Amino acid sequence: MRMPIFVENIDRNKPAMTKPNSLFPDLFGDVQHSPVETSSQVDASDDAIQQKIEDLRESLHQHNYNYYVLNAPTLSDQEFDAQLAELAKLEKAHPEYNDPNSPTQRVGSDISNSFETVKHRYPMLSLGNTYNEGEVRAFFERAAKDLNEEFEICAELKYDGTSISLTYEHGKLVRAVTRGDGTQGDDVTNNVKTIPTIPLQLPANAVYPDVFEMRGEILMPWDTFNRLNEERERQEEALLANPRNAAAGALKLQQSSEVAKRGLDAYLYYILGEDIHEDGHYESLNRAHTWGFKVSDHMRLCKNIDEVMEYIHYWDEGRKSLPVATDGIVLKINSRRQQRALGNTAKNPRWAIAFKFQAEKACTRLNNVAYQVGRTGAITPVAELDPVQLSGTTVKRASLHNDDIIQQLDLYIGDMVYVEKGGEIIPKITGVDKDQRLLVGDKVHFIKDCPDCGTTLVRDEGEAAHYCPNSNGCPTQLRGRVEHFISRKAMNVDGLGPETVDLFFDQGLIRNCADLYTITREQILKLDKKKDKSADNIIKGIEASKEVPFERVLFGLGIRFVGETVAKRLAHAFKDMDALQAASLDALVHVDDIGERIAESVMTYFADEQNKELISRLREYGLQMKLSEEVLANQSEKLSGMSIVISGVFEKHSRDEYKNMIVQHGGKSVGSISKKTSFILAGANMGPSKLEKAQKLGVKILDEMQFLDLIQ
Ligand code: IVH
Which atom of ligand 1 sits closest to the CA of residue 163?
A: 13
Q: Find the 156 Cα to ligand 1 centroid distance in Å.
A: 10
Q: What is the per-residue burial (b if ≥16 Cβ within 10 Å, else e) of 360-390?
A: bebebebeebebebbbbbbbebbbebeebeb
pLDDT at 149: 96
pLDDT digits (tens, 9 = 90+) for 566-575: 898 899 999 9
Q: Distance between CA 599 and CA 596 in Å, rounded?
A: 5
Mutational pocket test of ligand 1: of 126, 139, 300, the residue with most ligand atoms within 8 Å of the beta carbon: 126
Which atom of ligand 1 sits closest to the CA of residue 179?
A: 10
In contact, 487 and 544? CB cutoff 8 Å: no
pLDDT at 33: 37
Q: Find the 158 Cα to ligand 1 centroid distance in Å.
A: 6
pLDDT at 376: 87
pLDDT at 40: 43
Angle at CA of residue 21, ends 20 and 23, nearest 5° = 145
Q: Find the 363 Cα to ligand 1 centroid distance in Å.
A: 30
Q: For residue 255, what is the enclosing H or E element?
A: none
pLDDT at 233: 67
159 in ligand 1 pocket by Cβ < 6 Å? yes
Give the β-pairing of 416-420 and 361-373: antiparallel
| Catalytic residue of the set 52, 158, 626, 690 | 158
Q: Find the 321 Cα to ligand 1 centroid distance in Å.
A: 21
Which atom of ligand 1 sits closest to the CA of residue 129?
A: 7
Could you count the other beta carbons within 10 Å of the beta carbon of residue 512? 17
pLDDT at 39: 46
Number of H helices, E strands in the chain: 25, 21
In contact, 524 and 538? CB cutoff 8 Å: yes
pLDDT at 528: 65
Q: Which residues contact 343 (CB under 8 A, 6 or more apart)?
A: 349, 350, 351
354 in ligand 1 pocket by Cβ < 6 Å? yes
**Three-state DSSP string of 488-533:** CCCCCCCCCCHHHHHHHHHCCCCCCHHHHHHCCHHHHHHCCCCCHH
Chain mean pLDDT for the chain: 87
pLDDT at 117: 87
pLDDT digits (tens, 9 = 90+) for 204-214: 888 999 999 99
446: nearest Cα among 376, 367, 383: 383
Q: Find the 287 Cα to ligand 1 centroid distance in Å.
A: 19
Mutational pocket test of ligand 1: of 213, 219, 270, the residue with most ligand atoms within 8 Å of the beta carbon: 270
**Whether residue 158 lies in the annotated active site:** yes
Three-state secondary-structure class, residue 584? coil
Which atom of ligand 1 sits closest to the CA of residue 156?
A: 15
87: nearest Cα among 62, 57, 44, 51: 57
Q: Distance between CA 1 and CA 7 in Å, rounded?
A: 13
Angle at CA of residue 481, ends 476 and 482, nearest 5° = 105
Handedness of CA 597, 598, 601, 602 (dihedral sign): negative
Per-residue DSSP letter, 357: P
Residues of the chain with pLDDT under 70: 1-44, 110-112, 233-239, 422-425, 528-530
Handedness of CA 57, 59, 61, 64 (dihedral sign): negative
